[in-house]
Structure 1
Amino acid sequence: MQKLWTPSSEFIKNSHLTHYKSWLKDAKNLSFDSYDELWQWSVNKTEDFWVSIWEYFNIKSYTSYTQVLSSPTMPECKWFNGATLNYAEHIFRQSKGNDTAIYFSNESGINLEISWNELERKVASMAFYLKSLGVQKGDCVVAYLPNVPEATIAFLAVNALGAIWSSTSPDFGTESVVNRFAQIQPKVLIAVDGYRYNNKPFDKTETVKEIISSLPTLEKVIVLPYLNENASDNFSKDIITTNTIFEMDGGTLHFEPVDFNHPIWVLYSSGTTGLPKAIVHSHGGILLEHYKYMAFHNDVHEGERFFWFTTTGWMMWNFLQSALLMGASIVLYDGSPTHPSFEFLWKLSDDIGINHFGTSAPYLVANMKKQLDIKSNHKLNTIRSISSTGAPLPLEAFDYVYNNIKEDVWLCSMAGGTDVCTAFVGGVPFYDVHSGEIQCRALGVSLYALDDLGSPIEDDLGEMVIDKPMPSMPIFFWNDKDNARYKASYFEDYPGKWRHGDFIQINSETKGLVIHGRSDATLNRHGIRIGTSEIYRAVNKIEAIEDALILNLELEGGKHYMPLFVKLKTNNVLTEEVKQAINNQLKSDYSPRHVPDEIIEVADIPYTISGKKMEAPIKKILLKMPIEKSINIDAMRNPESVAFFIEFAKKI
């Protein structure tokens, strides 16, 4: 693996992780010569590690905990029993008066700065109004909002009351929203009238009305007039706007103490093959995990500006809010990342002075495929880290970042999930960045690659498994009797251990990791397991190809069929020469086993709304499983793309 970046001695010295190591030595008489030693301690002494996080970040609890961990067995374990606290209160401990807490920009050209004082005032007003409606500890408040300051304000207000937050973005359709929110019986809905994307207006008034009529437990609806300032005229007179609420005098912002294991929010699985799982996390678990990750793995400092391109329907929106815990400012952007130009987000970085730039792997790959020379067009002086998640970042994209974006930058490829609202693996300021590798296993994450016999392995492909509990693991799934669905999702294959569904390889020398794609969409060719990311990495090198999807179908009689579906760039044709180039690239980079049985052109590659390539659902369709049990069309970003595969399945 090629070394692309080495942290300077100053970078290491000034990191939160160095300060934490010094604190461990002074406060706990614990010394570690390397990050790997520190990680080993954090997973071998699970309770001691999380107590150290509690003490290091000076967690404010209204009552003392009586037990750190009720049981080492997942998923029954409970953390810090007896403790009562509030997540939002810890954010406002960082309040810095007139300094900026939120930077906001959208593709319509609106640019706002919201100070800590203004943020607290508006949160107090929203909390005051929600309380006047009778919203209290344990009630659910849901939001159908874009990535705007009002979403952050509403979340903090709901959280301050001890109520439970849940959100989706306005690109979700009615059924997709109702499938999520109806499960948790919300008391209040906060909705937007519409939004703009790629300079096109999308009026969501009728969608909001349909959502309202489908949620019988709603007692009040609040509308954000975003597309049209007179949007409230399109609703009943009982509707109140966010603007009206923010004009109220909410007085002093109060925080309701809740149990450590009290729900903080409900997130949802993609719901590609059925009703989305309603995943519930705890106040305390998320608080400890986000402190840990923001400080030690993103190294976010007070006064810095932390950006992530996300919507409110992706867990990274929730993760983004936690930068406020560090006294940093969060940067929100609403709109297309490529409008009015493909390089707009990089321009935004220069304009605002972003220090930590977060995005998805597909966005960086798209930049690479267009061969954009970002460093020649933008200064990017303030950026010191670029973070990537959402899909494995291919080796070539690592090289692209350093060659075409910024030479001296800390590239933090990370991977985790909605399941834990954080990353299992990611960046660390002590290690070099090697091409194609995620730097480390995060502190407190007892993660290993297991072979077919269930034994830990290194330097070879294995199943990603976590064998110790983490505080940010779900406390339960909503409406899941006896934790049946929860247990089936993670613990069936390895009892007592969390199987995440990814294939990984751990480098024994660098301690870095490579994720090879989802294990439930694994390609098994003649007994050899192939990660889908390997195929995509090679295909990405072919100039004519914009995107691809690879599957391996296990057919009757022990036969296998591995088709590669490709989406071509505009004005390109799938000629025999292009097919041969793909096959040659796969043979050259990997092996003849990586060569597909057939290469087929498609108009589009199916994706979930949250940007996940839908390998497993399409595989089920091609295996002729019932459509209704194979895929949830309403959970898709581009549902029209499925029609091709339904027809194609008839030919197999």
Structure 2
Amino acid sequence: MPTDIQLSPLWKPGKKLTEQSNLKKYMDWLFVKKGLYFRSYHDLWDWSVTDVEDFWESLWQYFNIKSHDIYLEVLHRPKKGMIGTQWFRRARLNYAEHIFRNKTKDHSAILFQSEQHGLTKISWEELESKVAAVSTWLRQRGIRPGDRVAAVLPNIPQAVVAFLAVNVIGAVWSSCSPDFGKAGIIDRFSQIEPKVLFVADGYHYNGKTYDTTSAAMELGTALPSVKDLVMISNIDSEVKPERVTSWEDILHLPNFGIDFEAVPFDHPIWVLYSSGTTGKPKAITHSVGGCLLEHLKILSIHQNVKPGDRYFWYSTTGWMMWNYAIGSMLSGTTLVIYDGSPNYPSTQVLWTLAERAKITHFGSGAAFFIACMKAGTSIPSERLSHLETIGSTGSPLPPEVYEWIYQHVKKDVQLISLSGGTDICSAFVAGNPMEPVYAGEIQCRALGAKVEAFDENGNPVIDQLGEMVISQPMPSMPVYFWNDEDNERYQSSYFESYPNVWRHGDWIKITPRGSVIIYGRSDATLNRGGVRIGTAEVYSAVESIPDIKDSLVVYLEKEDGGGFMPLFVVLEENKKLTEALKAEIKEVLRTQYSPRHVPDTIEAVAAIPYTINGKKMEAPIKKILMGMDPAKAVSRDTMRNPEALDGFV
């Protein structure tokens, strides 16, 4: 768990960095163009969450957003709440168009490396040509603005090309990583009914090759909305399926360049998915304009990304950080992508990539940095001379990992811890090139994000542990959840605890200097290794086993940044929890979903605690197992079976 406020910073920005930072340039622009002078970042932040319309309009102007129609108003609020908030009404734009306005011969568009292939370059001309071909083919196949196109692909350049092509024509993108189980993919894509599905014949991971050709064909059959299945040859599989379209054939079709489709600001750009804690994963739908403005803001101003920089974030296509990393191209960067295990053949592999690719901004999940520290990884700093920032997200980064980075990776690097997630495809709290870095602390609340810590009475507090809330709308908040009638799931996901205030589900402390410490999840989501896992997925798989009557799973954060995930099962009458049954449970979870779904231990209990209205009591059990007084963690009066608590207490 993060420590109390630190006395000495691990890093301070030099005067040159501060003066040349994008944040300083934006502040100078505000002074010259708007007559606004701010003495400090905190004053700027306060303005950005108070004069909300003026702030977001200033970003529109500062980043020179290209709209094919003039907007009528910046912000149109519903009568109450945040759901239904409209931004820049009547504006029509295209996300990919803003990426391609950075086309240049001066540097590559993409650098790619995998376990099987060395570093390769993709020019802007090559990227443009391929996006033009795929977008033309999609239009020929009848794909129109608003239609959904899905992908089950490794983190390869073809995935970036496919997304950009889909966005060019105004269609809606959604992707999963191929290591997802079939059930998990169907749970997600069946909700949005994609017309086209991009798949690969396989992928490489941890030194092994996985042929997914047959699984891909099964997916095409299991999703009746899919009219075209496009196969990308990634492992040169010997299986050659029929009735599929070849990616290479598409690239060789004649085209006349890119024709960008302008869509409304709140038009869907992609569908991301929640973890599935309370049923099927929620299909979180984001807007083209919201992600465009937010990604320009967070990457340019908070991460200080500049044209010609090389931006890398280790991710899969199933994590929102993949979408976020593509957003760096809006600022004119070269996108660096890697496909494979971050620890194969050793924890040095990504650091070696950083050296060879001359990466400027290097990011990964907190679990990677923790693994490097535990493995005793050390990188001679001269190897990383181009590195300016190291980014971390997914779960809280422990203070000792901050210190390890500055001792064993690079002393003069800005460590940027981010937290936000799938809900906004960005970060609420982020980096700041004008402020110091303290161990265990996130530098600041992001501009335009009115993040507060609420105490148990719903009052904002400073320097006290509280519930993380956001009390002003942001353009990158979801426009809706797909197929969510009357916004019921949207409302229950964020707005049930506090009227018209977004509850995010993290325990945080805002320090007197404006930095933020995150203490982990306050809800039942399993945040394992930086990847959020839904308990509902675990229950669906485990309780399909005949010997299992009921189950409950929680994730317990440890002080060292790791965690422990126990699974509790109730057995059918006269059944025993044998080693064979444990092995079966683990295999079912691994096969249907992913290795991350496999628990650290499996324990038999007499009963699972339930609320009166029939909900498993995951959060109270987690609190009890983390050491909270059971009387404070749960009221037995609200339980259907209070005696079930005894086995956990």
Counterpart CA distance in 2 for 1:417 and 1:243 is: 34
The corresponding residue for 2:377 is 372
Letter in 1 for 2:558: Y
**Correspondence list, 1:7-406, <5 A:** 7-71=13-77, 73-97=81-105, 99-228=107-236, 233=240, 235-236=241-242, 238-375=243-380, 379-406=383-410
Residue 548 of structure 1: CA displacement?
3.2
Residue 272 of structure 1: CA displacement?
3.9
Q: Contact conserved, 1:265 with 1:282, CA < 8 A, in 2?
A: yes
Letter in 1 for 2:44: L
The corresponding residue for 2:543 is none
Write the deviation string for residues 78-136 of structure 1: whole angstroms up to 9, x where unpaired.
Answer: 11111100000000000003630000000113432100010000000000111110011
Write the deviation string for residues 397-433 of structure 1: whole angstroms up to 9, x where unpaired.
Answer: 1111101111110000110010000000010101000
Residue 372 of structure 1: CA displacement?
1.6
Letter in 2 for 1:17: L
Counterpart CA distance in 1 for 2:94 and 2:310 is: 24
Counterpart CA distance in 2 for 1:614 and 1:68 is: 47
TM-score, normalization by structure 2: 0.82
Residue 650 of structure 1: CA displacement?
11
Aligned residue for 2:380, secondary structure, equals: helix
**Correspondence list, 1:454-603, <5 A:** 454-508=458-512, 510-521=513-524, 536-537=558-559, 539=560, 547-549=562-564
Counterpart CA distance in 1 for 2:245 and 2:340 is: 25
Counterpart CA distance in 2 for 1:477 and 1:461 is: 30
Counterpart CA distance in 1 for 2:345 and 2:647 is: 42
Counterpart CA distance in 1 for 2:263 and 2:472 is: 25
Counterpart CA distance in 2 for 1:386 and 1:534 is: 27
Q: Contact conserved, 2:423 with 2:478, CA < 8 A, in 1?
A: yes
Letter in 2 for 1:431: E
Counterpart CA distance in 2 for 1:228 and 1:51 is: 49
Counterpart CA distance in 2 for 1:219 and 1:268 is: 23
CA-atom RMSD in angstroms: 3.0
Letter in 2 for 1:403: Q
Q: Contact conserved, 2:605 with 2:647, CA < 8 A, in 1?
A: no
Write the deviation string for residues 164-200 of structure 1: whole angstroms up to 9, x where unpaired.
Answer: 0000010011111111011001110000111011111
Q: Which moved more, 1:110-119 or 1:311-320?
A: 110-119
Change (3 A) 1:650 1:208: farther
Counterpart CA distance in 2 for 1:330 and 1:356 is: 10
Aligned residue for 2:558, secondary structure, equals: helix
The corresponding residue for 1:418 is 422
Counterpart CA distance in 2 for 1:77 and 1:352 is: 42
Counterpart CA distance in 1 for 2:461 and 2:608 is: 32
Letter in 2 for 1:287: L
Q: Contact conserved, 1:189 with 1:218, CA < 8 A, in 2?
A: yes
Residue 339 of structure 1: CA displacement?
1.1
Change (3 A) 1:625 1:331: farther
Letter in 2 for 1:25: F
Aligned residue for 1:150, secondary structure, equals: helix
Counterpart CA distance in 2 for 1:619 and 1:385 is: 46
Q: Contact conserved, 1:621 with 1:649, CA < 8 A, in 2?
A: no
Residue 374 of structure 1: CA displacement?
2.1
Counterpart CA distance in 2 for 1:407 and 1:175 is: 45
Aligned residue for 1:434, secondary structure, equals: coil
Counterpart CA distance in 2 for 1:437 and 1:611 is: 27
Q: Contact conserved, 2:9 with 2:439, CA < 8 A, in 1?
A: yes
Residue 649 of structure 1: CA displacement?
10
Letter in 2 for 1:99: H
The corresponding residue for 2:631 is none
Counterpart CA distance in 1 for 2:154 and 2:176 is: 8
Letter in 2 for 1:516: Y
Letter in 2 for 1:92: F
Letter in 1 for 2:217: K
Pairs aligned (count): 565
Letter in 1 for 2:70: S
Is there any run of 5+ residues in structure 1 with no aligned partner, and where? 523-531, 541-546, 554-601, 633-647
Q: Contact conserved, 1:313 with 1:610, CA < 8 A, in 2?
A: no
TM-score, normalization by structure 1: 0.82
Aligned residue for 1:276, secondary structure, equals: coil
Counterpart CA distance in 2 for 1:406 and 1:153 is: 34
Change (3 A) 1:385 1:614: farther
Counterpart CA distance in 2 for 1:618 and 1:441 is: 41
Counterpart CA distance in 2 for 1:273 and 1:610 is: 21
Q: Contact conserved, 1:224 with 1:241, CA < 8 A, in 2?
A: yes
Residue 139 of structure 1: CA displacement?
0.5
Counterpart CA distance in 2 for 1:398 and 1:371 is: 14
Counterpart CA distance in 2 for 1:82 and 1:48 is: 18
Letter in 2 for 1:390: G
- Deviation >4 Å, runs of 4+: 532-535, 550-553, 606-615, 617-622, 628-632, 648-652
Aligned residue for 2:88, secondary structure, equals: strand
Change (3 A) 1:620 1:462: farther
Q: Contact conserved, 1:391 with 1:612, CA < 8 A, in 2?
A: no
Aligned residue for 2:523, secondary structure, equals: helix
Counterpart CA distance in 1 for 2:125 and 2:258 is: 11
The corresponding residue for 1:575 is none
